[in-house]
Structure 1
């Protein structure tokens, strides 16, 4: 019988899944120091995150991870970023050393500058909806991340209104430090730097920063200086999905963000997403979600 990966809606559900819900102190944030719960956490975990982001920093040498059906083996100090909607399977049965392994879980509501999941996914290139982000960290930058993690963890132990603000500040620094180092191509190296993975990564980030997303795949291929056929081949090989399905996911995410967080009219949202006719947008939205934009807004 085929195993079904459980969909985890929030941090509380994940902590229950990990047998750690007794330690929950905040609805929208949690930090886990793995060595403190070595005998509580299942050696094998499988879940699809729905409403939260995850950052893992670890010096682990023998952890096997499967993210969105892509198997990887981590054998160096690394950073891992997981976005809502991604699936993770972890097998740590061979892991005997878990010192300096931290997992941060947070929702978009926790950070004051982030009104939505889409805002975080758009702003930080390492949070993509499809291709996962794992980076090896060199010695000097590992020390920096370890310091951040320890400080956040220590603040979390006796959490109060002041410590929450400190944690928010430290987490914000982690996000922007990582973004800067990736932009500078310094101190961090991607785990998967194949040509096809690189193109998929660039494609997702190009979609995120395109104002009118509802374009043909050839529009994006041209900006990447490759053919539409090769772009589609790279996407399929790297993610198992089509380029069109990934584009649809981002269009729907941005549309839902506008419907939830703004008072923009349906006409305005349709125009900003690149639809030349509002009825086309309504039909597109209903076809992919079973709801009209107005029904979605009322539900929210």
Structure 2
């Protein structure tokens, strides 16, 4: 049976599912500390999507794990990450984890006259969606999150407006931090930046997009330009990179999961298991079942 990834429309709906007893009275916004989660609250969440954005700062992580579109991150200490409604997210938390989570919908920032997606591109699938911080940077940002958290629980007739300004300030602060880091590192060429964006898109979208043209459309360039640039920088075609990612994830699931071949085919975005089997054999000269048996 085809696998479906659950999508949560509202913040409180998500809390109901995970067993978090708190509810937000501001439909499009909420903030909480990790240490506010009860010890018997859900410790693991399978892949899901949500119709709101997320900004998280993890200070102490323990053995917590965050998977963003199948990309696993197990070194979460002093990490800031950003998720959009397009991301597929799953996690395993640790009861010792500390830090903050902010959920919001763009409607909460309806006073902002700029283009949200262009201004805050770090939410985009084509960008790096998490950043490792130095201790001082993490401490400074923690104070900003703490300010937002305190204001959320402070009765005030202008509470929503204050929270709106604090959130926008936080997003612009990260944008500034991102630009500073970019200036201190060796700035990549335009072609290298394009390839980097393409690689991030493949990591995030290989389940949904399997054709070069689909990625080219996301990047607002022609398929020929994308192919030529990727070939020049990496020595491989864009199609080869997409296929390599699909095979890499297929092999991982065949080796480490007990799902049957048809379940794996659906989970990776193939409409029919036979299409997946043909693709896998063309790329590896072996069938998925043969590969699984060889790893036992």
Report the TM-score range of the alignment, normalised by the length of the smaller protein. Answer: 0.5 to 0.7
Quick check: 1:43 aligned with 2:43? yes
Q: Does the aligned pair in 1 maintain the 2:39–2:95 contact within 8 Å?
A: no
Quick check: 1:120 aligned with 2:120? no
Deviation, structure 1 residue 50: 3.4
Aligned residue-pair number: 227
Deviations 1:190-233 (A, max 9, x none): xxxxxx9983436779xxxx999764223346678748954444
Q: Which residue is equivalent to 1:34?
A: 34
Q: Which residue is equivalent to 1:252?
A: none
Q: Does the aligned pair in 2 maintain the 1:83–1:127 contact within 8 Å?
A: yes
Deviation, structure 1 residue 43: 0.3
Deviation, structure 1 residue 142: 0.8
Distance change >3 Å, CA 223–CA 110, structure 1 → 2: farther
Q: Does the aligned pair in 2 maintain the 1:67–1:86 contact within 8 Å?
A: yes
Quick check: 1:138 aligned with 2:134? yes
Distance change >3 Å, CA 65–CA 211, structure 1 → 2: closer
Deviations 1:147-196 (A, max 9, x none): 0111100111135441211111111111111111111216999xxxxxx9
Q: Which residue is equivalent to 1:88?
A: 89
- TM-score under structure 1 normalisation? 0.63
Deviation, structure 1 residue 86: 1.3
Deviation, structure 1 residue 239: 8.3
Q: Does the aligned pair in 1 maintain the 2:7–2:51 contact within 8 Å?
A: no
Distance change >3 Å, CA 40–CA 130, structure 1 → 2: farther
Residue of structure 2 aligned with 1:150, choices 121, 128, 146: 146
CA RMSD, aligned part only?
3.8
Distance change >3 Å, CA 132–CA 113, structure 1 → 2: farther
d(CA) in 2 for partners of 1:115, 1:233: 41
Larger-Rg structure: 2
5+ residue gaps in structure 1?
190-195, 241-300
Distance change >3 Å, CA 159–CA 98, structure 1 → 2: farther
